[in-house]
């Protein structure tokens, strides 16, 4: 099975082209259960060219089956405060697209689609959907639009006026494609598309994201990107110190009771193992299990266990 270009690199370099809109349209149509058409790619943080740029967000102006204009954010970050980062991105998008003199009724709908290759929060599912609802504190009823508001906003629910969030926790996916959206998530996790997959946009992705079909210039750029991932792995290894030193300290403290020599030996080994595990966790979703095993010296089974934790 052919390995394809990683989706984050494709978003940054290839999928912004109108000729390749069908790939993102397919993904968003499967996720939102709607017929999505991309109108244009807006200016966003993804316009940065440096490999080490912090953000990889694409702002799309799309049209759905109800002919509404919706702004989609696809964010590809790794941050401890990501939930707040996600909220900030939506708020920024809303304010940037409300011109001076426009009424609040003209605020556009924002859907934030977040592809996550790290564990966020606590939960067993791999796709989470969030929206805003107002619930009565005493009667527990849900606030609804009145008839005039329905005419004004052309919506029937309050939640339809506010941003929606989709969190896709790629590493939580169990690799069993139960529907066409799962087929897309399998691709996002493995950069592979199985022959029998039928999800909208995937066959186009198979053709257009084939590494061997890139131009020489694009192939060279992709090779540099992959090499940078290896460089990041080396940087993680060279930052061995903290976990290593903590392990020595713990070992020495135990050695006071059990023997200084034995304690130092145990501390050194624990530090090495602790740092290797930390490095492996940092590389999950960036490099394959085999490459992580090669870089850290950990067994494939240990790394797969980290993925499932």
DSSP for residue 166: E
Residue-level pLDDT at 78? 62
* Residue 179: partners with Cβ closer than 8 Å, 6 or more residues away: none
Average pLDDT of adjacent 10-residue blocks, the chain of 309 residues: 73 80 92 90 57 59 79 67 85 84 85 84 91 96 95 92 92 93 93 92 89 77 71 54 55 60 61 73 73 78 78
> What is the crossing angle of helices 300-308 and 260-283, to 10°?
70
pLDDT for position 208: 86
pLDDT of res. 79:
65
pTM of the model: 0.68
Give the span between the Cα atoms of 218 and 205, in whole angstroms.
Answer: 16
Backbone angles phi, psi at 108, to 5 degrees: -80, 155
Going by C-alpha positions, the residue among 201, 120, 133, 131 that lies closest to residue 168 is: 120
- pLDDT (0 to 100) of residue 165: 93
Looking at residue 65, its pLDDT comes to 79
Q: What is the pLDDT of residue 49?
A: 46
Residue with tokens 């897309």: 184
The one-character DSSP state at 10 is H
Report which of 73, 95, 98, 99 is spatially closest to residue 86, judged by C-alpha positions. 73
Each domain of the chain, given as residue ranges in start order, spans: 7-213, 217-308
Burial of 36: CB neighbours in 10 Å, binned 0-12, 13-18, 19+:
buried
d(CA 251, CA 256): 9
């Amino acid at each position: 099975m052919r390995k394809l270009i990683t989706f984050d690199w494709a978003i940054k370099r290839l999928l912004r082209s109108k000729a390749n809109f069908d790939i993102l349209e397919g993904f968003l149509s499967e996720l939102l259960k709607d017929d999505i058409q991309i109108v244009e790619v807006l200016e966003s943080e993804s316009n940065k060219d440096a490999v080490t740029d912090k953000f990889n967000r694409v702002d799309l102006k799309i049209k759905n089956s109800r002919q509404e204009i919706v702004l989609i954010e696809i964010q590809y970050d790794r941050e401890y405060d990501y939930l707040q980062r996600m909220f900030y991105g939506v708020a920024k998008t809303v304010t940037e697209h409300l011109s001076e003199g426009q009424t609040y009724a003209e605020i556009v709908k924002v859907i934030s689609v977040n592809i996550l290759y790290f564990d966020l929060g606590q939960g067993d599912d791999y796709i989470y959907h969030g929206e805003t609802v107002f619930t009565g504190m005493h009667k527990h009823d849900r606030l609804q639009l009145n008839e005039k508001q329905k005419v004004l906003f052309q919506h029937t629910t309050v939640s339809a006026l506010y941003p929606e969030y989709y969190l896709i926790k790629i590493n939580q996916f169990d690799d069993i494609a139960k529907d066409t959206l799962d087929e897309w998530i399998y691709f996002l996790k493995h950069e592979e598309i199985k022959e029998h997959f039928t999800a909208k946009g995937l066959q186009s992705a198979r053709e257009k994201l084939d590494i061997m079909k890139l131009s020489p210039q694009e192939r060279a750029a992709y090779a540099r990107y992959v090499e940078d991932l290896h460089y990041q792995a080396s940087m993680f290894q060279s930052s061995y110190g903290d976990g290593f030193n903590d392990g020595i300290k713990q070992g020495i403290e135990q050695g006071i009771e059990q023997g200084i020599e034995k304690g130092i030996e145990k501390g050194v080994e624990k530090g090495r193992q602790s740092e290797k595990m930390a490095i492996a966790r940092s590389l999950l979703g960036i490099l394959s299990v085999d490459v992580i095993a090669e870089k850290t010296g950990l067994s494939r089974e240990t790394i797969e266990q980290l993925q499932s934790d």
